[in-house]
């Protein structure tokens, strides 16, 4: 239900905004290991967000890991992280669950015609409005989900992107660039009897 809510409900709302043109769903984390023999043997690890479903070969051999990495050529980069998923209450006919998401947004403000050193209020609250939604029958499983933005970080770049290799590149947080990180709480309710049973499909060659 988490991926369906993001992909089917939130992403179309975000992609309708002029301020978001490079948005991904919930990302996975890929780590690139580099071994150097220059002065002995040393290992370097770099971590990047990648689209769900991409293989390590696609990420690093084909360079796809760069798709969600900020750089001067991009107007903006945006993606979701799933932070947690908890079951709050359950009975035979209703389950209440809470999942927490983070929406990370980086922008080349100059390319967007913004002169202020941080994203403008209209930009921030436009994204916030797109992230707050109520949807029924998510994933065609009878799941109802309501999302609420609980916090917006526009001041601590490392807190937002610090887990990634580019999170230590300070210039990406200074004008002409800007960022915002949105904490989102999603509450889901569903009848467990209405969730269809999982069936094994045709094997996929990897």
- Name the least confident of 89-98, 99-108, 138-147, 195-204: 195-204
d(CA 34, CA 28): 20
The residue ranges of every structural domain in the chain are 2-24+71-192
Contact, 33 vs 19, CB < 8 A?
no
Q: Tell which wins on pLDDT, 170 or 145.
A: 145
SS3 168: helix
pLDDT tens by residue, 139-169: 777 889 999 999 999 999 999 998 898 877 7
d(CA 40, CA 45): 17
206 pLDDT higher than 60: no
Q: Tell which wins on pLDDT, 187 or 54.
A: 187
Tell whether domain 2-24+71-192 is in CATH 3.60.21.10.
no
Q: What percent of the chain has pLDDT over 90?
A: 43
pLDDT tens by residue, 67-87: 888 988 999 999 999 999 999
pLDDT tens by residue, 104-121: 999 999 998 888 888 889
Contact, 17 vs 78, CB < 8 A?
no
**In this predicted structure, what is the pLDDT of residue 83?**
95
d(CA 104, CA 77): 8
> Span 18-44, mean pLDDT?
75
**In this predicted structure, what is the pLDDT of residue 177?**
92
pTM here? Answer: 0.87
**In this predicted structure, what is the pLDDT of residue 205?**
65
Could you give phi then psi for residue 11, rounded to 5 degrees? -60, -45
**In this predicted structure, what is the pLDDT of residue 41?**
58
Collect all residues with Cβ–Cβ distance below 8 Å to 115 and sequence separation of at least 6. Answer: 109
**In this predicted structure, what is the pLDDT of residue 43?**
66
d(CA 32, CA 48): 8
């Amino acid at each position: 239900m988490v991926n369906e809510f993001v992909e089917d409900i939130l992403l179309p709302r975000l992609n309708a905004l002029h301020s978001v043109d490079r948005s991904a769903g919930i990302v996975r984390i890929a780590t690139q290991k580099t071994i150097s023999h220059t002065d002995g043997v040393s290992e370097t690890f770099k971590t990047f967000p990648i689209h769900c479903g991409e293989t390590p070969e696609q990420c690093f051999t084909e360079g796809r890991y760069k798709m969600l990495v900020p750089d001067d050529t991009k107007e903006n980069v945006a993606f979701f992280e799933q932070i947690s998923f908890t079951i709050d209450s359950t009975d035979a006919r209703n389950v209440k669950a809470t999942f927490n998401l983070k929406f990370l947004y980086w922008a080349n403000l100059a390319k967007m015609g913004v002169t202020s050193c941080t994203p403008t209020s209209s930009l921030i609250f436009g994204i916030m409005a797109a992230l707050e939604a109520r949807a029924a029958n998510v994933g065609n499983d009878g799941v109802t989900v309501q999302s609420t933005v609980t916090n917006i970080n526009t001041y601590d770049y490392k807190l937002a992107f610090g887990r990634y290799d580019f999170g230590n590149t300070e210039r990406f947080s200074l004008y002409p660039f800007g960022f915002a990180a949105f904490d989102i709480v999603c509450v889901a309710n569903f009848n467990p009897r209405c969730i269809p049973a999982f069936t094994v499909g045709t094997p996929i060659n990897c």
